[in-house]
Structures are given as C-alpha cells and as structure tokens.
Amino acid sequence: MREDMIICRCEEVTYKDIYQTVEHHQCSSRETKLRTRAGMGYCGGRTCRTFVDQIVAEVYGEPSGDAIPLKYRPPVRPIPFKTMGGK
C-alpha cells in the first residue's frame, strides 16, 4: 500500500499514520482507533475498521482472524416519534 493512501475517509487518516502509530505505541486496533481517530467519523468505521484491523495484524505479523476486531456503531440517534410526523 502507498503511505499516502487514505484509509479513513471521514477523518482523513492515512495508511502511514496508522502504521506508524501501531509501530511506535504497540497498539491494539482499539487503541489505534483512539489515537488516530480512524473509524470515529460519520460512518462509524463501516469502511475502514477492517483495514485498521489488517494493518495492526500486519505490524504484529499475525493473521487478522486472530485479533479481536473493532466494533462499529451505526450513526443513529433516537428521536421522538412526533419529529417524524406522529402526534
């Protein structure tokens, strides 16, 4: 992968940012997410969380299936029914 490739489009985090963070801090996927904000944008990590998991596995030399994958939460907030047109 190219170093300038954007992994997280929402937060504009590059491959280089993630790789260097994992390498320098010996991070898990979760800690990498917190340090770089990859996966914390509008989409909630739907597009980039698997890439973050793969990069962490690449740094540690482990298959990505052995690591605990990141969770993602859909960008949904509860709203009252009256907002949707109810009474």
The amino acid that residue 61 corresponds to is G
- Are the C-beta atoms of residues 18 and 40 closer than 8 Å to each other? no
Residue 13 three-state SS: strand
pLDDT in tens, the chain (87 residues): 788 999 999 999 999 999 999 999 998 888 999 999 998 888 888 889 889 989 999 998 865 544 555 665 665 666 777 777 755
DSSP character at residue 80: -
